[in-house]
Amino acid sequence: MPCIFCEIGAGRVPADIVYSSPEVTAFRDINAQAPTHLLIIPNRHLVSIADLRPEDAPLLANLVSVANELARREGIADTGYRIVTNCGLNGGQTVPHLHLHLMGGRSMGWPPG
């Protein structure tokens, strides 16, 4: 089975894409948990944040920078937002391709479930 997020990043599987560059793609989560809920992925396959190496620091910076820019575009920058990445089983990760969740538009609780 091909990786669903690799397929979305390559444009072979449709998604509600809000940002795309050679390195990064962002799209709306199909099961949104907040008024704004976007996923920001590297187009290159990495299983999770645990896969990042020191030389991937520019990629991580790019992912966060895109998330921040999208927060501005979505109009949630001033009210605040959450960027989260789940890693592995206990982290609650269900899709094994690194992604940042960008969520906002409502008040969030802490700690998360």
Residue numbers of the site for ligand AMP (CB under 6 A)?
4, 15, 27, 29-31, 39, 86, 92-95
Spatial distance between the Cα atoms of 88 and 70, rounded to a whole number of angstroms: 26
User: CB 38: neighbour CB atoms within 10 A?
Assistant: 28
Name which of 94 and 107 has its Cβ closer to ligand AMP: 94
Q: Are strands 17-20 and 100-104 parallel, antiparallel or unpaired?
A: unpaired
Q: How far is the CB of 70 from ligand AMP (least distance, A)?
A: 15
Q: Active-site residue among 37, 45, 97, 99?
A: 99
- The H or E element that residue 57 is part of is helix 57-74
Residue 99 is among the residues annotated as catalytic for this protein: yes
Q: How far is the CB of 47 from ligand AMP (least distance, A)?
A: 11
Q: What is the set of active-site residues? A: 99
